[in-house]
Structure 1
Amino acid sequence: MQPLFLAFWNVENLFDLETAPRLDKLQKVIGKSLQGWDDAVLSSKLGQLSKVIRSLNEGKGPDALGVCEVESAAVLGKLCQRIATDGGRQYQVAHADSSDARGIDVAFLYDAQRMQAGATFQHWVVKRKATRDLLQVNFTVEGQPLVLIANHWPSRLGGQYESEPYRMTAGETLAYWHQRIQQELGPQVAVVAMGDFNDEPFNRSLQEYALAVNDRDTVLNGRNPYWLNLMWPLLATGQGSHYYDGWGMLDQMLVSKGVVNGQSGWRVETPCRIEGQGLMAQSNRQPHRFGLEPGKRDLNGFSDHFPVSLTLQRVG
């Protein structure tokens, strides 16, 4: 069986056209930012995203791609169509609307010739109003279960420590989901959590609340369902997936015990990678942003985050 290439990317404000139908309350929040977001601008955005996505996996594209900061299933459908038109794969969409104030969601693009999507679960963190979300999709790959969870945790807007309790809540939710998945599907089931966590691997929300650690023995022998956070080796080299007053490793890949020991039928084939730097990096090595607001758009840009990726290999 061919390895399975998984990736995650914060695609930075993938909104549909300014004239697309949307709720009045959402239009009031984002309407000014979308002025002039017409066919030409959206086409440029989709083309830039397609270019990066098709470059992944040595030019074959990912088997599954988690994304965040997307407005709707409709605009994701346009992205899938653009990827196919540009010579890439034919992707399907797994998506659920959230109640985020800006209307941005998480979702998966996946190759239905390799993976079949089953049950889907969603949760969003509430801090007086809903913000950001988690999306779980139970996939089957040639008869083998694989659970993927896309995350976009509450931002650091208002201050890292002032906003930290909301990411702790998200982390606690992810840990609970992990436990429930093991109860329902077995303690060795393969689970991969990916996303823009808006915290570093060493922050409390990930280590203490999500139970995502850098110690294999804890993952394999701990009393609770721990994740192995695969970003630590990259973190040690000073790399990052996002730049804001310095590099940050906000985009991460976490794997369950059954992936670490291979008893799920899956194991990690290659270390995590930060992708797209050859295409996306500016002269200062930072991601080349596309932007959203009028006057701040760069049609040659992409996103303010680099994608991250992981390859799994079937065992047995």
Structure 2
Amino acid sequence: MRRLLFSLLLLAAVLCGCSQEQKYVIGFYNVENLFDTSDDPLKDDDEFLPEGRNHWTQDKYEEKLGNIAHVIRAMKDENGAFHTLLGVAEVENRKVLEDLVAQEEIASAGYGIVHHEGPDGRGIDVALLYRPDQFELLESESIPYTFEGTEVQVSLSPEEQQAFRTRDILMVRGLLDGEQFAVYVAHLPSRSGGKGGDLRSVGAEIIYRHSEEMMEKYPGIKIVVMGDMNDNPTDESMKVWLHAEGDIAGVISQEVYFSPFEEMFKDGYGSLSYRGEWNIYDLILVNYSLAAAPDGGLKICETADGYYGYVFKRPFLTQQDGKYKGTPFRSFSYGEFIGGYSDHYPTYVVIK
């Protein structure tokens, strides 16, 4: 019996790829409109001012900060450690990030911030929070969203392409446990009006091409792509233009990305709900070097239920009654602050 138990434990360790070694949590969270209360004349932030449509006061801002920090702390309590890397979307500026990481519940993580001001019309950006005690920052780049050289059939006219503005894509390179990592954080164009599939495909194409250059420049580099893609893992942007594969056994070269949330989506999991349907737009993908670790070192780990990703869905993050019962407990409803967290659940993966 002891021998059988030992064999089962050994098998579990092999499945995860590493047994008792140090684990690192890498995640993404769309924090839903994290704006400060100050007017920025260069941004369309009027609705997030005390006299604006949302009556965005200092008290509401501080409550929002505390809520997001509480979510990050809750994930820490579940995993036994704060995220090593946490990508975030819908943040107004560096100040809101500084205020967030200073919150009492998460200040002990000592998060560093990587953020570049972008050209988005709403004034929202993406950013990366990282633990300097685990991740050594080497460089970062704000990659412009451009139609130049795209092979995607785009519906916009040349004039419309020239005028189009959306979030830049953030790339961060650094060392994690002595290994080269590149992390991309994206918030691809929205589905407003049911459109934009071609625009999201362009964004995925930009990420893929840039990551190809990184893999050529730094052979063996481990790459993480994360963000609010505004597409599901089975959509064209991910499958065709980011070359994503939902079966880890099918990731056999650097040309293919492993998409941990594809099987979860097919099985009914979701990170946000729209008109009664669950979607996983909050995606994390990894390249062959991190999916298979052919040269050893860190690799993505399988969960206890056979997946490779986690959707952090907890009762306190979920609407408990009313029309939207069972969906993410959001911060805003019809322009009113209702004291929730976000209209998205966080997602994350674990590597060892």
> Do they superpose with TM above 0.5?
yes
- C-alpha distance in 1 between matches for 2:252 and 2:187: 26
Q: Give the secondary-structure state (helix, strand or coil) at the position aligned to 1:266.
A: coil
From 279, 290, 302, give the equivalent of 2:341.
Answer: 302
- The CA deviation at 1:204 is 0.6
- The CA deviation at 1:88 is 4.3
Q: Is the 8 A contact 1:8 1:194 kept in 2?
A: yes
- C-alpha distance in 1 between matches for 2:266 and 2:179: 33
- C-alpha distance in 2 between matches for 1:132 and 1:193: 15
Q: Give the secondary-structure state (helix, strand or coil) at the position aligned to 2:139.
A: strand
Name the structure with the higher strand share.
Answer: 1
Match of 2:87 in 1: 66
Q: Give the secondary-structure state (helix, strand or coil) at the position aligned to 1:243.
A: strand
Q: Is the 8 A contact 1:66 1:195 kept in 2?
A: yes
From 228, 236, 241, give the equivalent of 2:271.
Answer: 241
1:45 to 2:64 alignment: yes
- The CA deviation at 1:302 is 0.2
Match of 1:23 in 2: 41
Task: Give the paired residue count.
Answer: 303
Q: Is the 8 A contact 1:34 1:292 kept in 2?
A: no
From 159, 164, 172, give the equivalent of 1:137.
Answer: 172
From 168, 171, 187, give the equivalent of 2:201.
Answer: 168
From 156, 177, 188, give the equivalent of 2:191.
Answer: 156
1:312 to 2:312 alignment: no
Q: Which moved more, 1:271-280 or 1:46-55?
A: 271-280
Could you tell me the percent identity over the aligned residues? 27
Q: Which moved more, 1:200-209 or 1:52-61?
A: 52-61
- C-alpha distance in 2 between matches for 1:9 and 1:27: 21
- The CA deviation at 1:235 is 1.2
- C-alpha distance in 2 between matches for 1:205 and 1:33: 36
From 126, 132, 139, give the equivalent of 1:106.
Answer: 126
Q: Give the secondary-structure state (helix, strand or coil) at the position aligned to 1:56.
A: helix
Match of 1:286 in 2: 327
- C-alpha distance in 1 between matches for 2:137 and 2:236: 32
- The CA deviation at 1:280 is 0.1
- The CA deviation at 1:231 is 0.4
1:258 to 2:292 alignment: no
Q: Which moved more, 1:2-11 or 1:50-59?
A: 50-59
Q: Is the 8 A contact 1:52 1:279 kept in 2?
A: no
Structure 1 residue ranges without an equivalent (≥5): none
- C-alpha distance in 2 between matches for 1:192 and 1:25: 30
- C-alpha distance in 1 between matches for 2:32 and 2:268: 23
Distance 1:62-1:79 versus aligned 2 partners, 3 A rule: same
Q: Is the 8 A contact 2:36 2:48 kept in 1?
A: no
Q: Per-residue CA shift, 1:150-184, capped at 9, x if unaligned?
A: 1110000121xx31111010011111012111111
Q: Per-residue CA shift, 1:37-81, capped at 9, x if unaligned?
A: 121011100010011001114253211110000000111000000
Q: Is the 8 A contact 2:101 2:107 kept in 1?
A: no
Q: Which moved more, 1:36-45 or 1:263-272?
A: 263-272
From 77, 90, 112, give the equivalent of 1:92.
Answer: 112
Match of 2:3 in 1: none
1:2 to 2:22 alignment: yes
1:226 to 2:256 alignment: yes
Q: Is the 8 A contact 1:29 1:102 kept in 2?
A: no
Q: Give the secondary-structure state (helix, strand or coil) at the position aligned to 2:345.
A: coil
Structure 2 residue ranges without an equivalent (≥5): 1-20, 147-160, 303-307
Q: Give the secondary-structure state (helix, strand or coil) at the position aligned to 1:202.
A: coil
- C-alpha distance in 1 between matches for 2:86 and 2:122: 22
- C-alpha distance in 2 between matches for 1:21 and 1:236: 43
Q: Per-residue CA shift, 1:99-121, capped at 9, x if unaligned?
A: 00011000011111111111112
Q: Is the 8 A contact 2:33 2:91 kept in 1?
A: yes
Match of 2:311 in 1: 274
From 109, 123, 138, give the equivalent of 2:143.
Answer: 123
With the length of structure 1 as denominator, give the TM-score of the two structures. 0.89
The one-letter code matched in structure 1 to 2:95 is A
Q: Is the 8 A contact 1:34 1:293 kept in 2?
A: no
With the length of structure 2 as denominator, give the TM-score of the two structures. 0.81
- C-alpha distance in 2 between matches for 1:229 and 1:209: 13
Q: Aligned-residue CA RMSD in angstroms?
A: 2.1
Q: Is the 8 A contact 2:86 2:128 kept in 1?
A: yes
Task: Give structure 1 regions of 4+ aligned residues with deviation exceeding 3 angstroms.
Answer: 27-35, 84-88, 215-218
- C-alpha distance in 2 between matches for 1:56 and 1:279: 12
- C-alpha distance in 1 between matches for 2:105 and 2:70: 11
Q: Is the 8 A contact 2:48 2:56 kept in 1?
A: no
